[in-house]
Amino acid sequence: MNGQVYLSRVSIVTGASKGIGRDIALRLADDGLDVTINSRGGRDLEEVAKEIRAKGRKALCYVGDVADETAVRGMVERTVETFGRLDVMVANAGAPVLDKLVELAVEDWDRCIAINLRSVMLCYKYAAVQMVNQGEGGRIIGGPQVCGYSASKFAIRGLTQCLAIELAAHKLTVNTYTPGVILTPMTDVGPLDKLYGGTHGAYTKHVRDSSFPYPHD
């Protein structure tokens, strides 16, 4: 091996305690990456870390609000301190707004934009800084998809396209994934069904030809 030290590839997944983020983190571990998993707290995050370690990969739990710049910068720094590098950033964290626009509190709108858009910008920024400094390329991925949620998520498309152009010279790719409606704890909520006049399942039935998969699909 000519005395060289080969480091495992390293990823960060935000919003990774459950749902799509959890399954992305587990898939990255299956693909041989060590993973920093993030959420705002809770026992679920440690359970995901145990699953990653059971696959033979390393896991770091980072509790923090990714709408906060200090938290995101610290998450990237802690990842690099722990694993030595960063190769993949998946800005997955998101929060739904369940009220109709005419009934929506401005404070709830602002929080939606902070979690669904500001957090992605911060993850993109600090991951890009680290990957450019490494000089080995990398992958940056964001997840765009009831009113404020769609608006904030659609804005990620423009942010992603601009950053992809900006970072192309550094052999960094920046893309989005758009899974549509996935059956996760986020979609299993009473208020969303109540908007369409029913119990659980009313919302999914409202969508034409609804046949929604689970994250592991």
Q: Which of 131, 24, 139, 151 is nearest to 89 (CA)?
A: 139
Could you tell me if 49 and 148 lie in one domain? yes
Let me know whether 57 and 126 are in one domain. Answer: yes
Question: What's the average model confidence in pLDDT over 182-209?
Answer: 55
Residue 149 lies in a domain: yes
Same domain, 97 and 188: no
pLDDT of residue 31: 96
Domain that holds residue 168: 10-178
Query: Could you tell me if 162 and 193 lie in one domain?
Result: no
In angstroms, how far is CA 28 from the centroid of its own chain?
Answer: 13
Total-model pTM: 0.74
pLDDT at res. 211: 52
Structure token pair of residue 133: 């400094």
Q: Which residue has the higher pLDDT, 181 or 4?
A: 181
The identity of residue 113, as a single letter, is: I
- Residues β-bridged to residue 174: 140
Residue 126 confidence (pLDDT): 98
| Residues 18 and 119 occupy one common structural domain | yes
Q: Which residues contact 165 (CB under 8 A, 6 or more apart)?
A: none
Which H helix or E strand runs over 156?
A: helix 148-167
* CB proximity list for 190: less than 8 A, separation 6 or greater: 199, 200
The mean of the pLDDT values for the chain is 82
116 shares a domain with 20: yes
Buried b (16+ CB within 10 A) or exposed e, 116-137: bbbbbbbbbbbbbebbbebeee
Count of domains observed in the chain = 2
**134-139 average pLDDT score:** 96
* pLDDT over threshold 90, residue 115: no
SS3 12: strand
57 with 124, same domain: the answer is yes
How far is Cα 99 from Cα 81, in angstroms, rounded to an integer? Answer: 41
Tokens of 13: 């997944």
Would 4 be classed as within a structural domain?
no
Q: Report which of 189, 192, 210 is spatially closest to residue 18, judged by C-alpha positions.
A: 189
Q: List residues with catalytic annotation.
A: 149, 153
State the pLDDT at residue 1.
38
Q: Is residue 76 part of a domain?
A: yes
pLDDT, tens only, 119-131: 999 999 999 999 9
**Percent of the chain residues topping a pLDDT of 70:** 72
Kindly state the average pLDDT of the residues 163-171: 92
**Are 127 and 65 members of one domain?**
yes
Q: Report the C-alpha gap between 86 and 127 in whole angstroms.
A: 7
% of the chain residues with pLDDT over 90: 53
- Residues 120 and 202 occupy one common structural domain: no
The answer to whether residues 92 and 119 belong to one domain is yes
Residue 13 near residue 92, CB atoms below 8 Å: yes
pLDDT of residue 179: 58
Q: Which of 74, 164, 176, 102 is nearest to 128 (CA)?
A: 164
Q: Please report, for the domain that includes residue 155, its CATH number.
A: 3.40.50.720
pLDDT in tens, 22-80: 999 999 999 999 999 999 987 899 999 999 999 999 999 999 999 999 999 999 999 99
